[in-house]
Structure 1
Amino acid sequence: MGNLKSVALLLLFTFFVLHLPFVESDWFINYHIHVTNDLPLLNSPPNQPNLFLHCKSKKKDLGERPMVKGQDYTWDTKVNFWRTTLFFCRASWVGRKTIRFDAFVADRDEMTCRHYHNSCMWSVREKGIYFSKNNATWGNMYPW
């Protein structure tokens, strides 16, 4: 029995030594993903959706959401143990274009999104899907 305890303690110690930065910084952080409809209205009435957004991960389907101009689609996630957390979305601009984009990729976004209160900010615009780590400077990450 004592040998089994020693092995368990050694494994636990090894885990914490190898993963200490991960445990301290990422395991318990809640990331907030925001996708905002910033598409122009063009010929759409202002009170009718001009964007349909469907986001999901391998294990969780957030469903499709019709969005009017200015509306925000938001959800939270944590990074899994293996750092493989991935949420992807399909954005369909009514009568125009459809695109798939990765809204949260753990190894790409966990450090970047920390700069702005653990938030990943996305904006669906006329020329594509834009990303910002500070809600001020935007880059077109997924052109239509």
Structure 2
Amino acid sequence: MKTPKQIIFLLIIIFFTLTIIFTSMLQPQTMLLGKEYDVRVINSFRDNSSLPLVIWCNSPQGELGGRALQEGDDFRWTARIELWSWKADYTCTMKWESKRKRFDAFKISRDINRCGFTGKCSWSVREDGFYFSSDEVYWTKDFSWL
């Protein structure tokens, strides 16, 4: 026969197990050992002329690769934040005409809160700079090309 302490301990284990299962079901981007963020960089130029926006990105695990984005095209990936490792900065180098800019497309210390509940971190690259949004409705200019 189990003692009251053993029964309480068993109930606590069951409670935490069910909490993890239900949380994973309600928030599919939440992993059992971390969180996932959807990062998207969009070419939002109005007149791209003949030169595309060239993007090349790196993750903590290595290169994500690059693309030449025409007007309206995007480059996207999932940033995984492991609970035991808070090194999850993703950098991208952008090139358009004679302009070149390296920026943090996802920086955990900056974006973990502003990407918020949705887990969306979107960038709209325009002629006058780089705009951020967590819902792709409201955009805020974060910085210019220079």
Cα separation, 1, equivalents of 2:81 and 2:34: 8
More strand per residue: 2
For 2:136, the equivalent position in structure 1 comes to 135
Shift of 1:82: 2.9
8 A Cα contact 1:85 1:106, kept in partner: yes
Structure 1, unaligned stretches of length 5 or more?
A: 1-23
- State the TM-score, normalizing by the size of structure 1: 0.71
2:34 aligned counterpart, secondary structure: coil
Cα separation, 2, equivalents of 1:114 and 1:29: 11
8 A Cα contact 2:119 2:134, kept in partner: no
Alignment of 1:6-45 (within 5 A): 27-41=33-47, 44-45=49-50
Q: Which deviations, in whole Å up to 9, do the C-alpha atoms of 1:4-33 show, x marking residues without a partner?
A: xxxxxxxxxxxxxxxxxxxx9774322100
8 A Cα contact 2:53 2:95, kept in partner: yes
- State the TM-score, normalizing by the size of structure 2: 0.71
Cα separation, 1, equivalents of 2:143 and 2:92: 12
2:142 aligned counterpart, secondary structure: strand
The letter for the 1-side match of 2:89 is: L
The letter for the 1-side match of 2:52 is: N
Cα separation, 1, equivalents of 2:77 and 2:47: 25
Q: Does 1:124 align with 2:130?
A: no
8 A Cα contact 1:32 1:77, kept in partner: yes
Cα separation, 1, equivalents of 2:66 and 2:134: 25
Q: Does 1:86 align with 2:86?
A: no
Shift of 1:111: 2.1
Shift of 1:112: 1.5
- How many pairs are equivalent? 115
Shift of 1:136: 1.5
Determine which of 64, 67, 71 is the counterpart of 2:66.
64
